[in-house]
Amino acid sequence: MESQESMINIEQDLNEISKLIWGYLDKKYIGEIKHKVSGYRSECERHMCKEAQLIQAVMPFMPQEKKILQLIVDAIMYNEIIEKTFEENKVLTNLYRDDNKEKEQVKKLVYKLIMVKLLMTIDQIGSNK
């Protein structure tokens, strides 16, 4: 019986430890990323490219396609945010640099896909709070 109680306490302790670790990571890293992304997003929204502006302008006239059109606008915004990240943090470009230009393009695309997933997750976390 005693070992079962200690297992319950260990499980509770592990849950508390994981909450502390997550809180630390959120405060130190994720919060910083959210703040930077928010700044990039605001800048991109203020200076949205003409293509995204056009898509947004036609959305009210195409209600059945609104969801897919919004996805396209979001993809454009995510790409602009990622490009701003590259501009501001030149060291990130080392992640995909390669002497083989075709390979470099593939690496950059993979990096962008990972970044889009990260940005979408950050947006999801932000909207759940």
Per-residue pLDDT, 22:
83
Q: What is the mean pLDDT of the chain?
A: 82
* Average pLDDT over every residue of 91-112: 84
Question: In which band, very low, low, confident or very high, does the pLDDT at 120 lie, cut at 50, 70 and 90?
Answer: confident
**73-99, pLDDT tens digit by residue?**
988 988 888 888 888 777 777 778 888
Query: Has residue 5 got a pLDDT over 70?
Result: no
Per-residue pLDDT, 129:
56
Reading the block at residue 27, the tokens are 């405060």
Alpha carbon 60 to its chain centroid, in Å, reads 27
List C-alpha distances in Å: 41 to 5, 8, 33, 47, 83. Answer: 49, 44, 12, 10, 11
Query: Has residue 36 got a pLDDT over 70?
Result: yes
The pTM of this model reads 0.63
- The residues spanned by each domain of the chain are 2-128
Query: Has residue 4 got a pLDDT over 60?
Result: no
More confident position, 8 or 83: 83
User: CA-CA distance, 50 to 10, in Å (whole number)?
Assistant: 57
* Average pLDDT over every residue of 35-45: 80
- Report percent pLDDT > 90 for the chain: 20
- The alpha helices in 26-100, defined as continuous H runs, are 31-46, 50-58, 66-88
